[in-house]
Structure 1
Amino acid sequence: MVAAKVNPEIVPDEALAGIADAAGRDARKAIATLRNALDIVLIDDTECVTDPIVERARQKAEVDIARLRISSLADQQTAVLKVLADIEPATSGTIYDEYERRIDDPSVSRTVRGWLSTKFHQYNLVTILEDEHPQEYELTETAREIVE
């Protein structure tokens, strides 16, 4: 087994704790944030990772992860995100109607609802507006930047 170690002079314990907090129990986000923080330290030629560097690295990690997740989606799924970008916030029915209008061979409504409420939500691409009835969806800020 190979152990990885980060120089505590470059990444102090406080910075690691900040990265862990920023990642919110998402290991992929924590690793991407740490990698980006180390890149920023090198590029900016600074002594160590600081709270402002962690914040910049977290923001870049979110974009990197969202871009990777969106690029892995099927064309039908990407089309749903593009529809949502154009009409948000919207209910699943409104999203589906517009998606169906734009696509030659659309997936069924139930499948699209599943993407919206489960997959896209878990991927942090869509926010569910829970105070609305019927429930409405909108893209996260990060996903919006990539989709538009």
Structure 2
Amino acid sequence: MITDARALKPEFVPRDLHHREGQIDHLSSVLAPLQYDTAENVTIFGPSGSGKTTIAKYVVTQLERETLGIRWGYVDGMSDNTTTAALHRLVREVNLGADLRRRGEPTALALDRLRECDDQVVAILDEVSVLEERPLVALANLPNVSLVAITIDEEEWLDSLGRPATSRMQSAATVRLEKYSLQELIDILDSRVSHGLIKSRVDDEAVRRAADIAAGDARRGIALLRRAAKRLEETDERQLTVETIENVVGAAERDIQQRRVRSLGTHQRLLYNIIADAGEISGTELADEYERRSVDPKSDPTRRRYLKSLRQYGLIEASGEGRARRYRSVT
């Protein structure tokens, strides 16, 4: 049933991207001046599953293939959200820091490696709203580094930045994405089927049903296909049908949730685990328990940023304000 499992992974970047041609052209034009040693920063905004990370990786991969003297690296702000973690991840991604250790090495050393690099560097900062501001400002100050900052909400992120970061990112070029329409998502999922599955064993209506359930979110649609294909591999079912898709909805949602939990950084995971263990907890109780369990507690503003990211990605829910604030885990 499965001919190429890579096509069913959310991080897979296909050779051809459907229904994002305009945004790809715009991003390409912004980064094209890297051929002449200069390019502006760019921000990509849009809802979850709208293709933000995919088009960023697609464009910089194409640019790297066509241009000498360009390197690029990817940093996931959900897992590498501190200054040290983000900078060390980036220098390793661009093959400048294999010998650097995250613990015990000053962040200035990572910045020096980037500054002294003869190549132009593109830093893709995913989930940048969770990232500390210091690496954002430090990287923006390097003349040979261009930032591609990715997050969901443009206004909320820019409003949350301090003055140094705001002055650097407000002038960045902007790429905005919307949720996919039903037909657009059908086309995307159909392409994944062609790349990764035996197409004759997948009903057209099953692809349509997966797109309908996913409601514009490509990540959810791909998760449904992956879980449905796995079901066929593990059973004696021969055809991937509408019924197959409907039978794996719960499992696909759990796959997405588990993947997001695995991507969390240390302090986000601690906050999530406290809420999940309690089922429901007040903001005051959460703060007290976090302080008790954490070796090096983060500040209140940082904690609020982490909790907001957990809400945005459907891992927790929140209600009430101030002292009446309560958090619940989503199962």
Work out whether the TM-score is over 0.5: yes
Distance 2:261 2:198 in 1: 34
Q: Give 1:107 deviation, angstroms.
A: 0.8
Tell me, yes or no, if the aligned pair for 1:91 and 1:137 is still in contact at 8 Å: yes
Matched, 1:41 2:232: yes
Partner Cα separation in structure 1 for residue 259 and residue 244 of structure 2: 22
Q: Are 1:103 and 2:297 an aligned pair?
A: no
Deviation per CA, 1:99-123: give whole Å up to 9, x if none.
011112111122222222x211122
Larger radius of gyration: 2
Q: Is the 8 A contact 1:37 1:54 kept in 2?
A: yes
Picking from 252, 257, 268, the partner of 1:77 is: 268
**More strand, by proportion:** 2
Normalising by structure 2, what TM-score? 0.38
What residue ranges of structure 2 are gaps of 5+ in the alignment? 1-14, 17-190
> How many residue pairs get matched?
138
Letter in structure 2 aligned against 1:87: A
Cα RMSD between the aligned structures? 2.3
Alignment partners' CA distance in 2, 1:127 and 1:80? 13
- Separation (CA, whole Å) in 1 of partners of 2:247 and 2:304: 33
Q: Which aligned pairs between 1:85-100 and structure 2 lie closer than 5 A?
A: 85-100=276-291
Residue 42 of structure 1 deviates from its aligned partner by 3.0
CA contact (8 A) 1:19 1:33 kept: yes
- List runs of 5+ in structure 1 lacking aligned partners: 142-148
Match of 2:328 among 138, 141, 148: 138
Supply the distance in 2 between the matched residues of 1:88 and 1:27 (Cα, whole angstroms): 29
Higher deviation after alignment, 102-111 or 38-47: 38-47
Q: Does 1:59 align with 2:270?
A: no
Q: TM-score, normalised by structure 1?
A: 0.77
User: Counterpart of 1:30 in structure 2: which amino acid?
Assistant: G
- Give the fraction of aligned pairs with identical amino acids, expressed as a percent: 31
Partner of 2:314: 124
State how far apart, in whole Å, the 2-side matches of 1:80 and 1:10 are.
Answer: 43
Once the two structures are TM-superposed, the CA of residue 26 in structure 1 deviates from its matched residue by 1.9
The question of 1:32 aligning with 2:223 is answered yes
Query: After TM superposition, which residue ranges in structure 1, 4 or more long, deviate above 4 angstroms?
Result: 1-4, 6-9
Are 2:311 and 2:318, in contact at CA under 8 Å, matched by a contact in 1?
Answer: yes
Query: For the Cα contact (< 8 Å) 1:127–1:139, is it kept in 2?
Result: yes
One of 186, 195, 201 as aligned partner of 1:10: 201
